[in-house]
Amino acid sequence: MKQKASLFLLTTICLSLTWAPSGASEVSERNIRFVDYPDFPEAHSTWGSIGFSTRYDKVFIGVTNHRDRVGLFEYDVKSHRMRLCGFIPDMANLREYQWQGKIHSQIVEGPDGSMYFTTDGGESREEYLMDHPHGYSGGFFMKWDPSSDRLTNLGTAIQYESIKDLAVDQVDGQISAVSYPQVHFVTYDPKANRLRDFGRLGSDHVPRVLFRDWWSNVYYVDWRQRLVKYERSGGRLIFARESLPSFEGTPGEHIITGITAYAVDRSSGVMYLITYGAKMLAFRPTQEGIGAVEDLGGIFDATLRPAWNYYCPNLALGGNGKLYYFIGGHGMYAEESESVVLMEFDPKKRSKRMALNFPLEVISEVTGSDVKDSAGNLYFAGRRNNPKAEQMGESGASRPFMIIFNPEKGTE
Amino acid sequence: MKIERSLLFISAGFAWLSILLQAEYTFFTPPGSFTVEVSLENSPYVRLPIYRNAITSLEVVGDYVLGGTSAIPGRSPFLFAVSLSKRRLERVLDMSPVLPGQRCIQSGFGRGPEGFLYGGTIPDKPGGSGHLFKFKVNGNEIEAFDLGTPVAGQGIFALSVDSSRGRIYGISHPSGNFFLQDLRNHTTKIFDETSPSKEILAFLHQYALKPADYLSRRLAIDQKGRVYGSQPVNKIFRFDPDAQRIDLLEDELPKVWGRRPLGRVDAWTMAPDGILYGGNAGDGQLFKLDPETGRVTNLGKPVMMPRITGLTFGADGKLYGVSGASPGYAHLFSYDPGGRGFVDLGNPRFTMTEPGLEQGIAWRGFQIGSVAASEDGRVIVLGEEESLSQLMVFPVR
């Protein structure tokens, strides 16, 4: 049955390959591979919940049934083996009233080699029930030690609030995070067990992504889509004067959602950002103050939709210096037929092209920012539409899987 | 094959839509509502800076919404004025040069003679002295005047003004003394009956409660000029302005068994018929107090959470209030004294349209610390208490 499904997927991808202009045939179905998550038949989705361990050469993914069961998976790059590390409620000894809906955050390697992530309530009951007996107690900071297969629960941030994303200081291990729905920026020092709440920074829709520069300053956005920097040297927030570039006519709900994905080019001193208003930006951070932002244009050029109306919660920089991202999800697609497209963006030439095209039953949405190994493989968390999963929770009927993509060579 | 795929997409689309419809993402967004951006760090516009803008005192005078803020330790508060017709912040006054060493304007405002609003401050450092002040918008400025310290070494936690008698009444912080200041002869009289005894303080200590948790957050004045507030534990006091005497009412604040230590008045407002309506912070009950009989009626809890941080009557005769606070967040509710009871209006979400945000963004009010109505009751304003607080406005039709 599994083999049949894989065969169907491969055939579908082959049939779906589209629009390969001359001189742009480098990327094909040979460059991409899907890996299923074993031992979790009710798995529904993955969110931003993917990260890479450089110390152990492993990818970690949080997979959820989008209700109350969240599995942590580990993909070993050398053995090509995906395994279930365990389920969060069991490994963290969570009580029933501490139920968690998903891992929404990135899974980030700390300076100690542990992988850090946060948990999220996931569904409507998280936000609205609060102090009701069925309510949500709040999201947790968690640490996974790959060397001992041990999960440590580092505690909650704000009562009743999910924690949507985090960043980890690569010098002292301090965690920065953002809560949902009240958009509080917090820092947590696991060594001192010190939590600092810097207060509310956002509005109606919580920006989902934090990212850090190579000095471990952390960035977020306020409701005007201005960069907000947690400057580690002073332990304070500083705010950009100007909003990030956006297309004329970008609706407010796209402005307030901020940045959806990023990729780091350390050698060039550039961080590439994608906004919820479908802009590609080049950000050049500075150790102090907020660096310059350059508008690289839209992530997709077409007339089907307004330029701001393309959804892309993923981005990675290939070993070839080109950016790759999958457009589509949450009801916003690049193509009329509602499909997810893999884009290639050359930041030097500022040119982009559609490399591959997938129907929604093959890929319906992709997450992950800059998750890659030393061999140039890029990793993403993927979902595909699946009517059989209809009863698995809110946010559509889907099944999750991991995507391995290498733009320079085959992934077999 | 194509048809099958189309059907699959359509059915998936319907499933998605039905899930969206089932979700609880509906908010209180009446036509004509809007949010004014009052706070923005590193702003090119006139705005309040971060951590100095929690809107803890609020009043509407003509076209202006006048606010007083509270700051985090080490920083000072502001007064500000928002034009309702222009939907923008027009004037701000940094209080640090006017009243150095002060941190909070959390007393609420009282209306005094000559168009002035009166307020009080809490000092930044323990042992410091709060000040009374008066202010009004004069041309392009907010003018504020220091009226001195009513209780030495104490801040001003709550305040109310009886303009006809020319008196300011207040509760000091942290002791909880009741005081009156005569605006005509500038004398102050302090009453210590409202201050918790040593025994009461020891009792409150068992519950790890601080003065800001148990002192009366607001004072009310009835049609005969009598002043009402709460004092620990769960009691309501009344000050008779003629006899200059404080008595405890026989009826207490509504309580939940075992939670009396949490009881204190969070908000007051008076109905056109003279009945006082109050909110109990401890458990979030709405109650009414008949000044003629002294009877307290527990009207119940609008939502499951504690606190009722603001109450006011709208032009439609309904009472509007905010219930719920951190670590949860605010629900706006209405109460119809005519018999239909509570309606939980939900979390308010009003559009903010500002320079640089011309398309508008939806703004949700999570922590709302102050509520006021325009003089005709046709506009109600909500002041946030956040690190970056905004003003939310909705019309009453």
Domains defined for chain A, CATH in brackets: 16-405 (2.130.10.10)
Check A240 against B42: CB less than 8 A apart: yes
pLDDT of residue B330: 95
Check A249 against B359: CB less than 8 A apart: yes
Check B327 against A200: CB less than 8 A apart: no
Closest to A352 (Cα-Cα) out of A329, A323, A379, A330:
A323
Q: From the CA of A329, how many Å to the nearest CA of chain B?
A: 12
Chain A residues near residue B359 by CB distance under 8 angstroms: 249-252, 255
pLDDT of residue A395: 63
Check B349 against A204: CB less than 8 A apart: yes
Check A204 against B364: CB less than 8 A apart: yes
Best mutation target among B48, B359, B385 (most A Cβ atoms within 10 Å) is B359
Q: Is A199 on the interface with B (CB under 8 A)?
A: yes
Does residue A71 register a pLDDT over 80? yes
- List helix spans (H) across A165-308: 252-255
Contact B154, B130 (CB under 8 A): yes
Q: Report the alpha-carbon distance of residue A93 to residue A95 in Å, rounded.
A: 6
Residue type, B204: L
Taking only the tens place, the pLDDT of each residue in A336-392 is 778 999 999 999 999 999 999 999 999 999 999 999 999 999 999 999 998 776 655
Chain B residues near residue A15 by CB distance under 8 angstroms: none
Best mutation target among B361, B363, B392 (most A Cβ atoms within 10 Å) is B361
Residue type, A327: I
Q: Is B359 on the interface with A (CB under 8 A)?
A: yes
Q: Is A223 on the interface with B (CB under 8 A)?
A: yes
The distance in angstroms from the start CA to the end CA of chain B is 55
Cβ neighbours for B198, distance < 8 A, ≥ 6 positions apart: none
Which 46-105 residues of chain B touch chain A by CB within 8 A? 50-51
Q: From the CA of A40, how many Å to the nearest CA of chain B?
A: 23
Check A253 against B8: CB less than 8 A apart: no
Task: Tell me the backbone φ, ψ of residue B201, rounded to 5 degrees.
Answer: -60, -40
What tokens were used for B190? 């302090």
Does residue A6 register a pLDDT over 60? no
Q: Report the alpha-carbon distance of residue B369 to residue B61 in Å, rounded.
A: 19
Q: From the CA of A297, how many Å to the nearest CA of chain B?
A: 20
Q: What percent of chain A has pLDDT over 70?
A: 92
Chain A residues near residue B44 by CB distance under 8 angstroms: 241
Q: Report the alpha-carbon distance of residue A62 to residue A120 in Å, rounded.
A: 11
What tokens were used for B299? 């009207």
Domain architecture of chain B: domains with CATH = 25-395 (2.130.10.10)
Q: Is B336 helix (H, G, I), strand (E, B) or coil?
A: strand
pTM: 0.93
Q: Is B59 helix (H, G, I), strand (E, B) or coil?
A: strand
Cis status, amide bond into A70, omega within 30 of 0: no
Chain B residues near residue A160 by CB distance under 8 angstroms: 327-328
Chain A residues near residue B356 by CB distance under 8 angstroms: 224, 243
Q: Report the alpha-carbon distance of residue A235 to residue B371 in Å, rounded.
A: 34
Q: What is the CA radius of gyration of chain A?
A: 20
What tokens were used for A185? 């920026």
Q: Report the alpha-carbon distance of residue B169 to residue B356 in Å, rounded.
A: 44
CA distances from B208 to B94, B157, B175, B211 (A): 34, 19, 16, 10
CA distances from B285 to B138, B304, B392 (A): 40, 10, 24
Q: Is B357 on the interface with A (CB under 8 A)?
A: yes
Digit-by-digit pLDDT tens for chain B (397 residues) are 444 444 334 334 433 434 444 445 689 999 999 999 999 999 999 999 999 999 999 999 999 999 999 999 999 999 999 999 999 999 999 999 999 999 999 999 999 999 999 999 999 999 999 999 999 999 999 999 999 999 999 999 999 999 999 999 999 999 999 999 999 999 999 999 999 999 999 999 999 999 999 999 999 999 999 999 999 999 999 999 999 999 999 999 999 999 999 999 999 999 999 999 999 999 999 999 999 999 999 999 999 999 999 999 999 999 999 999 999 999 999 999 988 899 999 999 999 999 999 999 999 999 999 999 999 999 999 999 999 999 999 999 8
Which 303-362 residues of chain A touch chain B by CB within 8 A? 331, 338, 359-361
Q: Is A124 helix (H, G, I), strand (E, B) or coil?
A: helix
Instruction: Kindly report the number of other CB atoms within 10 A of residue B311's CB atom.
Output: 27
pLDDT of residue A391: 58
Q: Identify any residues that bridge with B372 across adjacent strands, giving them in sequence order.
A: B381
> How far is Cα of residue A130 from the mean position of the Cα atoms in its chain?
26
Contact B279, B265 (CB under 8 A): yes
CA distances from B105 to A318, B94, B385 (A): 55, 12, 12
Q: Report the alpha-carbon distance of residue B296 to residue B319 in Å, rounded.
A: 17
Q: Report the alpha-carbon distance of residue A67 to residue A181 in Å, rounded.
A: 18
Cβ neighbours for B352, distance < 8 A, ≥ 6 positions apart: A203, A223, B34, B35, B36, B37, B360, B361, B362, B363, B390
Closest to B148 (Cα-Cα) out of B123, B130, B124, B127:
B130
Closest to B228 (Cα-Cα) out of B172, B178, B157:
B178
Beta strands in A249-311 (DSSP E): 259-265, 270-275, 279-284, 292-298
CA-based nearest residue in chain A for residue B348: A204
Q: Report the alpha-carbon distance of residue B266 to residue B82 in Å, rounded.
A: 25
Cis status, amide bond into B327, omega within 30 of 0: yes
Q: Identify any residues that bridge with B268 across adjacent strands, giving them in sequence order.
A: B278
Of A132, A239, A397, the CB nearest to B12: A397
Which has the higher per-residue pLDDT, A393 or A94? A94
Instruction: Kindly report the number of other CB atoms within 10 A of residue B221's CB atom.
Output: 24
Which 99-158 residues of chain A touch chain B by CB within 8 A? 124, 127-128, 130-132, 158
Q: Report the alpha-carbon distance of residue B178 to residue B189 in Å, rounded.
A: 9
Contact A183, A173 (CB under 8 A): no
> How far is Cα of residue B196 from the mean position of the Cα atoms in its chain?
24
Mean pLDDT of chain A: 91
Chain B residues near residue A239 by CB distance under 8 angstroms: 41-42, 50
| Residue A107 binned pLDDT confidence (cut-offs 50, 70, 90) | very high
Check B388 against A201: CB less than 8 A apart: yes
Of B50, B357, B362, the CB nearest to A224: B357
